[in-house]
A = this chain, B = another copy of it.
Amino acid sequence: MIAILKHGTTPDQTSHLVEWLKTMNLDVHISQGQEVTILGLIGDTSRVDMELLNSLEIVETVKRVSEPFKQANRKFHPKDSVIEAGGSKIGGGYFGLIAGPCSVESEEQIIQVAQAVKEAGANFLRGGAFKPRTSPYAFQGMGGEGIKLLLKAKEATGLPIVTELMNINTLDLFNDVDVIQVGARNMQNFDLLKELGKTKKPILLKRGLANTLQELLMSAEYIMSEGNENVILCERGIRTFETYTRNTLDLSAVPVLHELSHLPVVIDPSHATGKSRLVASMAYASAACGADGLMIEVHNDPEHALCDGAQSLTPSQFAEVSRKVQQLREVMV
C-alpha cells in the first residue's frame, strides 16, 4: 500500500503517522520527494482501513498496490474455479444454465417448469421459496414448503436446485439445496456471509444494486475467508438514472471479474432488464462476452400468457435462447 502525503506535511506529522502505522505491524518505507513524501506500507495491509487513512488531513491519496481480496484473487489462483453442485458444473469452460420460475407456487407448476427447462438444456433449476419483498404486505414466498416442492422437482428431473436464503436461522431447511443464493439486498449482510462461509455449500452471490465489482469480490472474500471456496458471482443489473429497464445490466462485469478473480460469473438478464422481450438479446450478449452461466426466469402458467411482457420467458422462448447461446459459445471457444 502506498500513501502519498501532502506538500507541507511537517516531519513531526509524518513521524506521528509512521508510528501509528507501525502499531499495525506494518513496515513503513519512506521516500522523500521534492513535492511529496511517499510512504510504502509493507506487510499485511488487508487490515488497514484505507478510507480512514485517506481521510487524514495530511494524506493526499492512498493506493493499494495489492487488491484487498486474497482468496478470490486470480493472482494467487490463476486457474478458473469450477464449482460443482448436484452433478452440474459452472466455470472453467462449464456453462451453468439456471432456469425456473420466479416463485415456487405449486408442485405441479415447479415440476412442469423443471421438465420443460431441462429438455431445453438447463442444467440447474431455480425457484424462489423465500422472497425478498419491498413491502411487508406482499407475498413473501412459500418458505420451507417451497423448498420441499423444489426438492420434488429435483427428484423428478435430476436438476440441482438453486434457491435464496434470507435468514441464517433457516439454514437447516437448505440441507438438500444444491446452491444457496444470496440476494442483491444481502450482498453486504456480513454476518450472513460469514455463516455461509462455514458451510461447504456452493453460494451464488448476487451483486448489490449499487455495489462496485470490488465490493462484490470483498463479499465473496467474506465467504471464502471462513473456508468455503464455492462461490459463484452473479451480475443482475445495477441502479442508475435510466428507467426504461428495471436496472442497467453491466456486462463489462464479465471480463473485469474474470481478470480480477478465478470465480465463475453468471448473468441474470431477467432481473436486470425486468422485461421478457429484452432477456434473449442480453443472454446472447452474455454468452458472447464470456459469461460462465445464465440465470433465466421461465414460467409455464397459461394464465401468464397474458403477461408475456413480464420478465419470464415461456418454455419455448427459453428453448430458443438455449439453442442460440450454445451456438454463440461454439464461436467463442
A interface, CB within 8 angstroms of B: 2, 4, 7, 13, 16-17, 20, 29, 31, 33-36, 38, 40, 42, 44, 46-49, 51-52, 55-61, 63, 65, 68, 132-139, 166-169, 185-186, 188-191, 194, 208-210, 212-215, 218, 221-222, 225-226, 238-246, 248-252, 254-256, 259, 272-278, 281-282, 284-290, 303, 306-311, 324, 327-328, 331-332
Report the bound CA distance from A29 to B38 in whole Å: 13
Chain B residues near A17 (CB, 8 Å)?
306
Tell me, in angstroms, the Cα distance from A238 to B206 when the chains sit together: 20
With contacts A31-B31, A60-B63 known, is A55 near B210, CB below 8 A?
no
Q: Quick one: which of A4, A65, A241, A249 has the most chain B CB within 10 A?
A: A241
Which B residues lie within 8 Å of A194 (CB)?
136
Interface of A is mostly: mixed
Indicate whether A273 sits within 8 Å of B252 (C-beta atoms), given known contacts A13-B306, A210-B239, A309-B57: yes
In the bound assembly, the distance between CA atoms of A51 and B139 in angstroms comes to: 13
Q: How far is the CA of A63 from the CA of B6 in the complex (A)?
A: 12
CB-CB under 8 A from A276, the residues of chain B are 55
Q: Could you tell me the distance between the alpha carbons of A332 and B183 in the complex, rounded to whole angstroms?
A: 32
In the assembled complex, the Cα of A49 lies from the Cα of B242 at a distance in Å of: 20
Of the candidates B33, B51, B133, the one whose C-beta lies within 8 Å of that of A40 is: B33
Cβ of A63: which chain B residues have Cβ within 8 Å of it? 4, 60-61, 63
Q: Does A252 contact B241, Cβ atoms closer than 8 Å?
A: no
Q: Is the CB of B212 within 8 A of A241?
A: yes
CA distance A212 to B250 in the complex (A): 16
Knowing A310-B52, A327-B331, the reply to whether A286 touches B285 (Cβ < 8 A) is: yes
Cβ-neighbour of A191 out of B47, B166, B252 (below 8 A): B166
